[in-house]
Amino acid sequence: MNLDKYLEDLLFRNECVIIPNFGAFITSLNSAQANIEGVFVPPSKSISFNNKLQKNDGILATYIAEVNDMSFDEAMDIIKLNVSNFKNDILNKKEIAFNKIGVISIKNNVLEFKSSKGVNYLKEAYGLSNVSSSLIKRKEKSNISSFTKYAAILITGFLLSAFVYNNELTKTNQKNIIAYQKANSLIEEKIQKATFVIESPLPLVKMFVKENIGVFHVVAGSFSIEENSFTRLSQLKSKGYSARKIGQNKFGLFQVAYSSFNTRSEADIALVEIRLSDNQAAWILNKEIN
């Protein structure tokens, strides 16, 4: 059983997919472009390979186990067998081909990766193809260049993205305001019903307002020993991160996040900064915390 299909599926959902003890495929976002030939290229994800990221984060094995209804250990055995074959191919200077992902080869004792063309791993742009300006009908007397038209399309897209992003923030703020207003109303109602007698103290009113925690978490690590998760949590907080524990996954690993965000765009921005400054193996988990 090879890993190609599992890697392909995970690259649509994750920014980083690690093959334990071998390396990691990393995606990076490319914005939409209009080149000088008048061809509009939709946004996409490009793929690179980093053989220094080999620490097992459990994502690949967990996915293989879920798809094939097997245990985590059985999935790890499949990964180990594939990794063993990969390393033998490298020793024999053979290319390692990953279907629809790319090819790893060795030149001058250095691993090189060449990504496959024609596959866009950005879910939001899946199925979109390049559009040539020849497909656009123009009026004969129009003085507007094709480049200007494409620039206008791109600007409109960015403005719409900004509008959606701001709209999400506005909705979140409105929900918080409504929650606070309800809490205040309940407190006032409790106080009004209390008997104001000097000899009797005012009844203690306890209100619990659910903390608004985002569902997109930038994960710092998963730990089999809970004490280690507390140690990592303290380290992150000392660095100034709004770190928190986000519970256990289905395999009992204690997960710690740098921070949590309401929108994917906020989490993507934070992930880029964290990978550059602290941890290249950080990744994003979409999970609602009760």
Tens of pLDDT along the chain (290 residues)? 889 989 988 888 888 999 999 999 998 877 666 666 666 666 777 889 998 888 988 899 999 998 898 899 999 999 999 999 999 999 998 999 998 889 999 888 888 999 887 777 665 555 555 566 554 455 555 555 555 665 566 556 555 555 555 555 556 556 656 665 666 666 566 555 544 444 555 565 555 555 678 899 999 998 989 999 999 999 999 999 999 999 888 888 999 999 999 999 999 999 999 999 998 888 999 988 86
Q: Cα dist. 127→42, 112, 118 in Å?
A: 10, 28, 10
pLDDT for position 212: 73
Say whether both 221 and 130 belong to one domain.
no
Residue 27: inside a domain: yes
Total structural domains in the chain? 2
Task: Note down the domain range covering 18.
Answer: 4-134
Mark whether 230 and 122 lie in a shared domain: no
In a domain, 188, yes or no: no
User: Do 226 and 128 reside in the same domain of the chain?
Assistant: no
pLDDT at 241: 92
pLDDT at 268: 92
Tell me which of 82, 111, 134 is where a domain ends: 134
Q: Please tell me the predicted confidence (pLDDT) of residue 9.
A: 86
Q: Strands 283-286 and 216-223, how do they pair?
A: antiparallel
* Within a domain: 154: no
User: In terms of domains, do 130 and 222 share one?
Assistant: no
CATH number of the domain within which 221 lies: 3.30.70
Is residue 170 domain-resident? no
What is the model's pLDDT at position 156?
60
| pLDDT the model gives residue 69 | 87
**pLDDT of res. 135:** 47
Quick one: 125 and 220 in the same domain?
no
pLDDT given for residue 210 in this prediction: 58
**Could you tell me if 19 and 130 lie in one domain?**
yes
Residue 248 lies in a domain: yes
State the pLDDT at residue 36.
64
Who contacts 75 (Cβ-Cβ below 8 Å, separation ≥6)?
Answer: 60, 61, 62, 64, 65, 68
25/127 same-domain check: yes
Domain boundary among 114, 134, 154: 134
Q: Which of 78, 102, 134 is the last residue of a domain?
A: 134
